[in-house]
Amino acid sequence: MKRRERTRQLIELGGLVAKAGLIELTDDDRAVIVGILVEAAAALRGEDRDKALLLWRRRGKRAFEALAPERKPRA
């Protein structure tokens, strides 16, 4: 992956952390945020991987829909 692509990916992933509310909910405690991500990674290595992915994908899609700005039809 090229440097510019990696930088963009990291910025987008940071935006997801912000959209999920983790910065405010953890009072910007980076150790807590990494701990949350480590727990998620452990769940993805477990037997219930597919179940976790399905649940988190559904929640994520609902969150994106809730965060999407209202679109006005163009005149």
Per-residue pLDDT tens digits for 40-64: 999 999 999 999 999 999 999 999 9
- Report whether 28 contacts 14 (CB < 8 A): no
- Alpha-carbon distance of 21 to 40, in angstroms, equals 16
Q: Which helix (H) or strand (E) holds 74?
A: none
Amino acid, res. 21: G
Residue 68 pLDDT grade (very low, low, confident, very high; cuts 50, 70, 90): confident
**H runs (alpha helix) in 1-75:** 3-19, 22-25, 30-45, 49-67
Q: What is the pLDDT of residue 69?
A: 75
Query: On the CB side of 51, how many CA atoms lie within 13 Å of its CA?
Result: 4
